[in-house]
Structure 1
Amino acid sequence: MTAFLRQETLYIRRRSQLLRDSAREEDSAAVRNYLRLRLALLQQRYCVTLDQLSLKSRPASLRSASRLTVEGDSPRCMSRSMSIGMAQTGSQSIEGPKGPPPAGSVVPTQQAEASKAIVGGTSIGENYAFSGVHHIFDQHADSVTMVKFAHNDQGLLACSSLDGTLSICQVAEGEPRVLHTLRHHSAGVTGFDWSSTNDLLLSCGEDGAICLWSSTTGSCLRTVSDQAGAHVLSCLFHPLNSNWAVLGNSRGLVQVLNISTGHYPKGGTSKVAGQVTALTFDSSGKTLWAGDDKGIIISFLFDLGSGGLRKGKRCVVNEGAAITSLSARAWASREAPNPTLLVSATCNALLLYRVVDKEGGLRLKRKFNVAHMYQPVRSTFCPLMSFRQGACVVSGCEDCSVWFLDVERDTRPLINRLQGHAAPVLGVTFNYNESLLATSDATGLVIVWKRQ
């Protein structure tokens, strides 16, 4: 019976992957009904949230649920919201994972025939070998601080730069090209985020401005100033409701912003010790982690209805070492079925933490030596979970290379290095199926690598 249940759950998860590419907008009523049932099964068994499923594979009613309406903007600029929780309606938050899975719950296993079919019989090192450079972008005149592929999209890539601009590029369809150059910030752009439906971009900068953009037209839909008049160093959308955004500034404030109204809600601002340099949510949107330039990570519990923040746990990574990147994942690997946090810090370290409680408490699991002392280097989990033993992450590095690490290996965790940049590598991002990797450096160069 246990084996049957395991195969059943693996089948459901595999179907979710396949439908990312095959589902169409004009699906029949029977297919739409199937998709609703599949969503319900995934939420019931895995606590999978809406942001973890492909936009293309959602019913129309669910696709519109996370969209955002800006008050005062015309319908031509913004999609009408059918929000699962407009910022001031007081609606209840969607339940998600609250910590390590209970004993006896279904977790990933090595009996993963579907995953084997995806990646073939290659080793984990061969799986992250690259055939060479797919394209090089050089439209930015200063450091590209961040690169990020759109959610569940093979080739839509955004870049932010200290030259004060952002760019949106298409790298998968036809000849790679720059679709839009976004100009509104008067100083360097420090970070950005895609909305769950990819129709919006949120950016922040050293000018203290938070800008909301249409990714289809490249136009700026709204600008909000930091309430303390400080540099805004990090920003992200809430994973379940794009009406909420979270910002981190140079005065140590973690701030929730209702992006649809431009207002900061009461109870949505909290103070930490240093400049807030990195932010990330867990997949449920209930737990937020903020890293500062003093080497401390603070967890917060987020209230989806009111936008309120409540401090959780404090973790000292390394005193005086800035946290430059945070990335959360529900499972690190099939052998480590616990929520984990990947941390880049300016102490020549890439660290993997296990999330140990419902308040976002952290316990160090592994530490890796990566050349990183001065630059805002970022890292991320590789999106596909391999059937093999191990879990891979990719990180920028100040030695001008891109590092691939198996965080489950006790010895020789470095499985590959890409060398093509002539300056410290700052940003790294995979598209959803790992066919393309984009990296950026301190001179403004963006390289898109193609997997074998």
Structure 2
Amino acid sequence: MAAAFQQQIFALDARFNAYRAPGNPNFKTLYIRRRSQLLRENAKFKDIETIKKYINIRSQLLQRRYGVQDNISISSSSSRARSSSKASLAVDEVSGNTKKKNDLTISENYAFTGVHHIFDQHSDEVSVVKFANNDRSKLCCASRDGTVSICDVTATPPRVSVVLEGHTDAVTDCDWSASNELVVTCGLDGALCVWDVARRRRLREARDQLAAPLLCCAFQPANNNMVIAGNARGMVEVLNVSTGIYPRGGSSILGGKVQAIACESSGRMFWAANDKGVIVSYRTSGTGALSKLRRCCVGGAVTSLSWSPWLARHPALLVSAADNSLYLFRITDREGSLSLKKRFETVHRSHGVRSTFCPIMSFRRGVCVVSGGEDACVYFLDIEGHAGQPVVNKLQGHASAVLGVSFSYDESLLASSDVSGLVIIWRRG
């Protein structure tokens, strides 16, 4: 079966899986995994005309069964008005599309037309997915099953390159070094681990200073010998991974449970946030010493922070909070003060839902951010567009709450993970 059509069939199943057995997410997960397996087993089938007929007939049957139209992605009402009223699966859209890329609307620009691959190697929720820096082939997945997997997304077929084992409890966060040679992970076992990806081995393990569970971690961008972490007892701490030592002055008490960290590109400043909705900016010295700067509060537990260097000529911070909110803050000064620009409604109350800026910002077509959701959807929101209708695209394919989201550097692929342990790689149209 031609790879493109195989992916279209799976994408069709993934979209309608959102309507199948709404009260039984485990059944939906098993179904989509089985469909993926069947498609792989029949990959050698080459009759393109028969495949096209199969796609059209299956699309019609699923529409009748669930009483909904099959749109490649659920877009805003304005983009739906421009589309055909008849549901169809565009199998020849590439040859017929002559519109230049710069002429696309923002909803068309972020129309992910199919599933590139699905990974199901983890037995528990995958809380974080992260593409490598400037490399669309490598994806890191951190799971509550205590393992970390590195996937080769662009291989034929995509595969799991290595599973890193060493944590004794759930892995809560991960980050790539600037060179993509190292990955840092942290977990509920209180371990902060640095891994050599190429050699598939652990280079360093350090225990939390308070023997507390670690909830978030990040490499210091300008000096990858330093790792910043946050624990469940409210401490933000810096570790020198070369020596395995926490430097003097490199710890600060934020309070609550520190659940998210985001660094600006110079590495001199970062933000940390906790389950009380408190966000604090910090300055780091060359030795790793911390200075607490500015404080800001939101209405719910913060589960994700994402920094952007240039949003309408001002750096910005994107905040996912468990009060059904996605906050967009402007960074107003060199001390990291935050000024609320916009707040968006999300479906986020109890899980560690994450969000991120799109890597390529085109103000001509709008500025997008992506967020997971507890309704099993992936949301694209235009943060510079119409305030009343910020959602420009919605991807349906998961059967449970979507937690992690990550773009490849060129925006050609989007990874999303969920509570059941499924990771879906979406392909851009």
Q: TM-score range by the shorter chain?
A: 0.7 to 0.9
Q: Distance in 2 between matches of 1:256 and 1:119?
A: 44
Structure with the higher fraction of residues in strand conformation:
2
Aligned equivalent of 1:401: 377
In 2, are the aligned partners of 1:202 and 1:211 still within 8 Å (CA)?
yes
Secondary structure of 2:318 counterpart = strand
User: Structure 2 counterpart of 1:248, which letter?
Assistant: G
5 Å-filtered alignment, 1:87-126, equals 119-126=101-108
Q: Distance in 1 between matches of 2:101 and 2:245?
A: 47
Aligned equivalent of 1:269: 251
1:229 equivalenced with 2:211 (yes/no)? yes
User: Structure 2 counterpart of 1:444, which letter?
Assistant: G
2:339 to 355, 363, 375: 363
In 2, are the aligned partners of 1:159 and 1:166 still within 8 Å (CA)?
yes
1:214 to 185, 190, 196: 196
1:329 equivalenced with 2:311 (yes/no)? no
Judged with a 3 Å threshold, the aligned counterparts in structure 2 of structure 1 residues 427 and 118 are, in CA distance, closer, same or farther, namely farther
**Number of residues of Structure 1 aligned to a counterpart in Structure 2:** 330
Aligned equivalent of 2:276: 294
Aligned equivalent of 1:419: 396
Secondary structure of 1:376 counterpart = coil
1:144 equivalenced with 2:126 (yes/no)? yes
Aligned residues: CA RMSD = 1.1
Aligned equivalent of 1:32: none
TM-score by length of structure 2 reads: 0.76
Deviation at 1:118, TM superposition (A): 8.9
In 1, are the aligned partners of 2:132 and 2:176 still within 8 Å (CA)?
yes
Q: Distance in 2 between matches of 1:167 and 1:322?
A: 27
Secondary structure of 2:314 counterpart = coil
Secondary structure of 2:107 counterpart = helix
Deviation at 1:130, TM superposition (A): 1.1
In 1, are the aligned partners of 2:151 and 2:162 still within 8 Å (CA)?
yes
1:350 equivalenced with 2:326 (yes/no)? yes
Q: Distance in 2 between matches of 1:118 and 1:256?
A: 47
Deviation at 1:287, TM superposition (A): 1.1
1:197 equivalenced with 2:176 (yes/no)? no
Secondary structure of 2:108 counterpart = helix
In 2, are the aligned partners of 1:401 and 1:421 still within 8 Å (CA)?
yes
Deviation at 1:217, TM superposition (A): 2.3
1:156 equivalenced with 2:132 (yes/no)? no
Q: Distance in 2 between matches of 1:329 and 1:269?
A: 25
In 2, are the aligned partners of 1:148 and 1:157 still within 8 Å (CA)?
yes
Deviation at 1:390, TM superposition (A): 2.2
Secondary structure of 1:339 counterpart = strand
Q: Distance in 1 between matches of 2:293 and 2:363?
A: 34
Question: Over residues 269-324 of structure 1, what are the superposed CA-to-partner deviations in whole Å (9 max), with x where a residue is unaligned?
Answer: 00012110000111111111001000010000111x21110000000111xx2100
Q: Distance in 1 between matches of 2:323 and 2:342?
A: 14
Aligned equivalent of 1:451: 428
1:374 equivalenced with 2:353 (yes/no)? no
User: Structure 2 counterpart of 1:131, which letter?
Assistant: T
Deviation at 1:384, TM superposition (A): 0.5
1:249 equivalenced with 2:231 (yes/no)? yes
TM-score by length of structure 1 reads: 0.72
Judged with a 3 Å threshold, the aligned counterparts in structure 2 of structure 1 residues 282 and 250 are, in CA distance, closer, same or farther, namely same
Q: Distance in 2 between matches of 1:324 and 1:384?
A: 24
Structure 1 runs of 4+ with >4 Å offset:
none
Deviation at 1:386, TM superposition (A): 1.2
Secondary structure of 1:372 counterpart = coil
Q: Distance in 1 between matches of 2:161 and 2:155?
A: 12
User: Structure 1 counterpart of 2:338, which letter?
Assistant: L
Aligned equivalent of 1:430: 407
In 2, are the aligned partners of 1:299 and 1:360 still within 8 Å (CA)?
yes
Q: Distance in 2 between matches of 1:149 and 1:216?
A: 16
Secondary structure of 1:313 counterpart = strand
Judged with a 3 Å threshold, the aligned counterparts in structure 2 of structure 1 residues 414 and 203 are, in CA distance, closer, same or farther, namely same
In 1, are the aligned partners of 2:318 and 2:327 still within 8 Å (CA)?
yes
In 2, are the aligned partners of 1:435 and 1:451 still within 8 Å (CA)?
yes
Question: Over residues 169-197 of structure 1, what are the superposed CA-to-partner deviations in whole Å (9 max), with x where a residue is unaligned?
Answer: 00113210000000000000000100000
1:306 equivalenced with 2:282 (yes/no)? no
Gaps (5+ residues) in structure 1?
1-116
Aligned equivalent of 1:128: 110
Judged with a 3 Å threshold, the aligned counterparts in structure 2 of structure 1 residues 161 and 426 are, in CA distance, closer, same or farther, namely same
In 2, are the aligned partners of 1:190 and 1:233 still within 8 Å (CA)?
yes
User: Structure 2 counterpart of 1:310, which letter?
Assistant: S
Deviation at 1:419, TM superposition (A): 0.1
- Between the two proteins, what is the percent identity of the paired residues? 53
Q: Distance in 1 between matches of 2:365 and 2:296?
A: 29
In 2, are the aligned partners of 1:124 and 1:388 still within 8 Å (CA)?
no
User: Structure 1 counterpart of 2:241, which letter?
Assistant: I
Q: Distance in 1 between matches of 2:101 and 2:308?
A: 21
Judged with a 3 Å threshold, the aligned counterparts in structure 2 of structure 1 residues 118 and 154 are, in CA distance, closer, same or farther, namely farther
Judged with a 3 Å threshold, the aligned counterparts in structure 2 of structure 1 residues 411 and 389 are, in CA distance, closer, same or farther, namely farther
Deviation at 1:412, TM superposition (A): 0.6
